[in-house]
Amino acid sequence: MKRNSTGYFGVERFRDRFRARYERFGAKRTILESPSAEACALAWDDFQLRKRGIRSLPNLNFPDRFQEQIRELRMKEAEHQAREASIRENARRTEPLTETERAEVAKLSSTGTLADVISKKLAIHIDVVLEELQRQRAGREANERLLAECEEADFDGDEQVERVLERYGARRPA
């Protein structure tokens, strides 16, 4: 962006007044219309700092007047950079391996890659899940065996129902 005949970035003459304008999606939009070019330049600077942040510093008309905002923007930028660095650092760290995992990793060949380690951990996890499924299947099979034994057993259900009804003094509905 360059300074125009008004001497300020983002300010243009319009009839007997000045306009602070910006372009968005190919259309120009007005920030402020004023008889003073300086007022429009200040409005344009403020708009640029709010919308573009630290990237707008080279194009400010009055950088001295916005020192507090610029300082805040620089602090926010520094905090953002520190947060990003912290996130990257945390992503690089891994949790320490347990003894069993260390033993499993030690079994890998010296040419083992990270994919081998990950696949080994996944295999351990799959083994645990399969053991749990086998326990559940064994429980279901035991229940099925018990039901089969009950069906094979020779007992008269009607006699037992009659005994229960007598015990509680109830009658069978007709």
pLDDT at 83: 79
Do 108 and 172 belong together in one domain?
A: yes
Tokens standing for residue 7: 């001497």
Dump pLDDT digits (tens) for 65-124: 767 777 777 788 878 788 787 777 666 665 666 677 666 666 664 555 656 666 767 777
Same domain, 41 and 114: no
pTM over 0.75: no
Name which of 23-32, 54-63, 110-119, 160-169 the model is least confident about.
110-119
Task: For residue 18, give the CATH number of its domain.
Answer: 3.30.730
In a domain, 4, yes or no: no
Residue 31 located in a structural domain: yes
Query: Residue 37: inside a domain, yes or no?
Result: yes
CA angle in degrees (0–180, nearest 5) for 157-158-160: 65
Please report where in the chains the tokens 């003894």 appear, as a residue: 99
State the pLDDT at residue 155: 52
Nearest-5° Cα angle at 142, 137 to 148: 125
More confident residue, 145 or 110: 145
Q: Reply yes or no on whether the pLDDT at 153 is more than 80.
A: no
**Structural domain contains residue 158:** yes
What is the domain range of residue 63? 11-89
pLDDT at 26: 86
Domain membership of residue 2 (yes or no) is no
Strand pairing category for 17-24 and 11-14 = antiparallel
If one counts the domains in the chain, the total is: 2
Mean pLDDT, residues 10-34 taken together: 86
**Please, what is the average pLDDT of the chain?**
73
* pLDDT higher than 80, residue 41: yes
Give a yes or no: residue 48 inside a domain. Answer: yes
167 and 136 in one domain?
Answer: yes
Kind plus residue range of the DSSP H or E element containing 174:
none
Q: Is residue 3 part of a domain?
A: no
Distances (CA, A) of 146 to 142, 155, 160: 6, 15, 20
H-helix or E-strand containing 67? helix 67-92
| Structure confidence at residue 40 (pLDDT) | 87
Look at residue 126 in the predicted model and tell me its pLDDT: 75
Could you say which of 89, 122, 145 is where a domain stops?
Answer: 89
Is the domain of 145 the same as that of 111?
Answer: yes
Please say which residue of 40, 66, 89 terminates a domain: 89
pLDDT at position 54, please?
65
